[in-house]
Amino acid sequence: MLLICGAPLERAIGARGLLLLYVAGTVAAAAAQWAVSPSSQVPVIGASGAISAIVGGYALLFGQSRVRVADPRLGRLLHVLWLAFAWIGLQLLVGLATRFGGGPSIAILAHIGGFLCGLALAKPLLLLRWKNA
């Protein structure tokens, strides 16, 4: 996912922007997992929350909104909401499958926190890169 989503995202927001998004995604992922369950025994290791931020940024910048409305700002908002709800739903399904399927515990909330961070920071990082270019 880092290669598939990271390469085009790096071309759009730059290497520094991608690194910033990756680090911010890591922090947001850990914070989301901790905020909901500070005493959880689910391990929060690896880079999946940071990768989720990269996927969120990629989805926002390169995904095509299917909603047609008169106000483009409303269309962008609906696109972001759709991406957020779809990702959260997918992660909750994965969580249910691992919980009832006997699989290993996964820090699902970390994935959600990272993705939401990617949605929140992709556009500002894009604007910042091209403003300073």
- For the chain, the structural domain boundaries read 2-131
Across 19-42, b (16+ Cβ under 10 Å) vs e yields: ebbbebbbebbbbbbbeeeeeeee
Mean pLDDT of the 109-126 span: 94
pTM: 0.86
Helix axes 2-36, 108-131, angle to 10 degrees: 120
| Start-to-end CA span in the chain (Å) | 27
Question: Do you know the residue count of the chain?
Answer: 133
Residue whose entry in the numeric block shows the structure tokens 């962008």: 76
Q: Say if CB 87 and CB 112 are below 8 A apart.
A: yes
pLDDT band at 118 (very low <50, low <70, confident <90, very high): very high
Mean of the pLDDT values across residues 67-75? 82
Q: What is the pLDDT of residue 46?
A: 67
What confidence score (pLDDT) does residue 22 get?
Answer: 96
